[in-house]
Structure 1
Amino acid sequence: MMKRHKRTRTSARLLGLSAAVLSAGAAAFTYTAATGAAAQTEAAGRDAVPSSGATRMVRYDLGNDAWRLPQTGEPGELTGVVHYPAVLGAGRHPLIVMLHGLHDTCADRKADAARTAAERDGDDAAYEAANAKLSAWPCAPGTPALPNERGYDYLGRKLAAQGFVVVSVGANGINASSVTGDDNAAARADLINRHLRMWQKLSSTGKGELAGKFADPATGAARRVDFTHHVDMRHVGLMGHSRAGAGVTWQAADSHRGQWPKGVEVRAVAAVAPAYNVMTEDMSNYTITKTPFAAFRGTCDGQVGGEALWFAADAAKGNRSGFYQFAIHGANHNYFNTQWSPQSRQVAASDDAMPVEGHPGQCTDREGAAPARQLTEPQQRHVAATYLGAFFRRHLLGDTEPRLLALHQGKPIPPVLQADINAG
């Protein structure tokens, strides 16, 4: 029998924004700091690599079965989309690896329509048959894979413009696999380490599996990009959304640091709407005390409950490197990923927020909970990019700009950041 992990709540300091400030449905945030002052990272004081703000994008794809899940041997892809500064210059840029969570894997529109009809009619057999087509890996011949990793292009571009090399990797093989619970988080951590190993080889020698494998995402034409000695593998950041939020927490846990590839140091971890296995037997698999850690959740998240932040707080107990929690008012689960959001018109895209009867534009995450004005897709992504950018700049570049210090020390947000949020 699985034991339920006992929850403890940490004390919180509220970083509030008044209704007058929050125009156009922008967000309010709850901020929780680790006990004691956040430790300065080794990035503090180092020279940040200048960036012109211009960015470029390439893709690599080593195949749909280039990697095998360590738990089961099921096939997984090694693919990623890379956003990077157009001018890499002479220095090194911190690497940020982003990973998506659980979602359909195959963009089969007929199967999607059949599943919707089966759900409406209560036909379990038809539902399962359609679902099997949507969650297969590899996908059936002629059926394109759902590019879940492309859902963070907006974030990759903004981070690359700030001087980072950003790679969003595919995890459709894990989503289609039989692994669940802690094994699922462990598989995602293993996939992250696999990509980090390839990037470490490429950056240090210009060789390895990624050498000569970059292509234009739109045309597939080969693109030559020399990342040799331009990626700072000693300053790596991770962002995981949904199930991948649990995956990055697992990967960065104190007990798993020995599994990081040689020459790699993870300096900042962000879990966005993380879906943890709250029935875990061993909390040490998620405990992070040596790495700055941030957790985000929307108040209108229809898929992940408040346990996302409670669990993260438990995992970060004793973390003096910096622990931050953000409750984004009016944000749901899916809008963080453009492929999962209605405006994409992609298979299985949806708005998971719960509407409030009689109050158009208001949303919540459960019956009886306080409503909030729902953020639009662009607003939610602007808030995410603003705060994730600030977090990674602080801990990977040592950015001590006043507005970032205000963000990370619980002070009122300066007007410049309020204006940025309202612009979304």
Structure 2
Amino acid sequence: MNRSRGAFYRPLLYAAALMLSLLSGTISFSAPPGDDEHEHDNEHEGRLCRHKPENVGDPSRPGPHHVATASYNLPNTITITATEGGSTTTDTNVHLWAVVYYPGISSGANKAVAPGKHPLVVYLHGNHGIWIDSGGNHTCGPPTGNPVPNHEGYNYILERLASHGFIAVSINANDLNCKGGRIVARGKLILQHLGLWKDWNDPTKPDPTFHGRFHHHVDMDRIGLAGHSRGGEGIVSAYLENQSSGFAFHIKALHSISPVDFDSFVLADVPYYVLMGAADGDVWDLEGARIYDRAAPRTNAHRMAKMQSYLY
């Protein structure tokens, strides 16, 4: 069956729209007026506040903002040491490389940011080939000098989010691919990027990358994470490490696309949306559904909502 490009991408755009709604406040997770706060304490799923559809619109459609773009690939690499599955791995020379779409005063590359503070959404791709060989194939090696820009595969989603007023970032994890799961390492990589954005938002910190372009424009109180496959579990690891290791980033929502479930993480008290491919040829057993199944509120069901969709 032939499908148009728009029809193929539309489910992911709707998923991005849900992330948009979670962070913008269009959807909230407190109890609707008049509900008994203890009525649903034993339920595993939160409830959404009631909103009239005419007040919400269709956030999967382009928004009102001009879309500006930027990228960064910092000259200094980092080392990531992570422990999972009873073993410790150390990855050296990990690049901090990403593409950025954001609301600008005009459209185009490296434009000034639109006035105000904008929520931050970070995407992380999965395990893919990292080098382009002479035949144009994506492989794990040997290195050819032409790395695959795997993080640019989400540009159409980033563009849509930016049009609605979000700073949308897709980070590259090639240095963690082709070498095992590296789920915890992926989570640590996300947190490193969040640290960059915290500094780029702070006018007291040096900024040789953007020269102050994002000062006071990043709403670090509203952060969303999204990821595919190993990236889909990597964002879960990032959220949990953020809680346990004192990073204190304000991560408000998570969205996993066909995630793996290598580490059996248990999420609590954060809105979580999973989009699964019903005929996934890679994660064919839909193992990521187990992350959804385990996710539950620790205290009150109204503090967490979760949703899972299957794409046929």
TM-score (norm: length of structure 1)? 0.53
CA change 1:34–1:225 in 2 (3 A) is farther
User: AA paired with 2:190?
Assistant: I
Q: 2:208 aligns with which of 196, 212, 216?
A: 212
Moved over 6 A (4+): 24-27
**Runs of 5+ consecutive residues of structure 2 not aligned to the other structure:** 1-6, 15-42, 51-62, 82-88, 106-112
Q: Does 1:326 align with 2:312?
A: no
Residues 281-325 of structure 1 deviation map (CA, whole Å, 9 limit, x = unaligned): xx4xx2111211111111121111343343122331337311010
CA distance in structure 2 between the partners assigned to 1:157 and 1:192 by the alignment: 20
3-state SS of paired residue (2:287): helix
CA distance in structure 1 between the partners assigned to 2:48 and 2:65 by the alignment: 29
User: AA paired with 1:328?
Assistant: L
Corresponding residue number in structure 2 for 1:103? 128
CA distance in structure 2 between the partners assigned to 1:316 and 1:95 by the alignment: 23
3-state SS of paired residue (2:196): helix
CA change 1:154–1:111 in 2 (3 A) is closer
Q: Does 1:275 align with 2:263?
A: no
Corresponding residue number in structure 2 for 1:198? 196
Aligned counterparts, 1:350-361, within 5 A = none
Q: Which has the higher strand share?
A: 2
CA change 1:305–1:230 in 2 (3 A) is same
Any conservation in 2 of the 1:55–1:84 contact (CA below 8 Å)?
yes
3-state SS of paired residue (2:193): helix
Q: 1:238 aligns with which of 204, 225, 238?
A: 225
Aligned counterparts, 1:31-180, within 5 A = 34-38=44-48, 52-63=64-75, 66-70=77-81, 71-87=89-105, 88-110=113-135, 112=137, 134-136=139-141, 139-140=143-144, 143-176=145-178, 178=179, 180=180
CA distance in structure 1 between the partners assigned to 2:69 and 2:236 by the alignment: 27
Any conservation in 2 of the 1:93–1:165 contact (CA below 8 Å)?
yes
Residues 348-390 of structure 1 deviation map (CA, whole Å, 9 limit, x = unaligned): xxxxxxxxxxxxxxxxxxxxxxxxxxxxxxxxxxxxxxxxxxx
Q: Does 1:292 align with 2:288?
A: no
CA distance in structure 1 between the partners assigned to 2:92 and 2:73 by the alignment: 18
**Runs of 5+ consecutive residues of structure 1 not aligned to the other structure:** 1-23, 41-50, 113-130, 215-223, 330-424
Task: Kindly report the root-mean-square deviation, in angstroms, between the aligned alpha carbons of the 2 structures.
Answer: 2.9
Any conservation in 2 of the 1:297–1:308 contact (CA below 8 Å)?
no
CA change 1:36–1:266 in 2 (3 A) is closer
Q: Which has the higher helix share?
A: 1
Cα deviation for residue 39 of structure 1 reads: 7.9
Cα deviation for residue 225 of structure 1 reads: 6.3
Number of aligned residue pairs: give it.
Answer: 246
Residues 129-179 of structure 1 deviation map (CA, whole Å, 9 limit, x = unaligned): xx9xx3248x34xx3110001000000000000110011011000004x3x
Q: Does 1:315 align with 2:294?
A: yes
3-state SS of paired residue (1:193): helix
Corresponding residue number in structure 1 for 2:245? 259
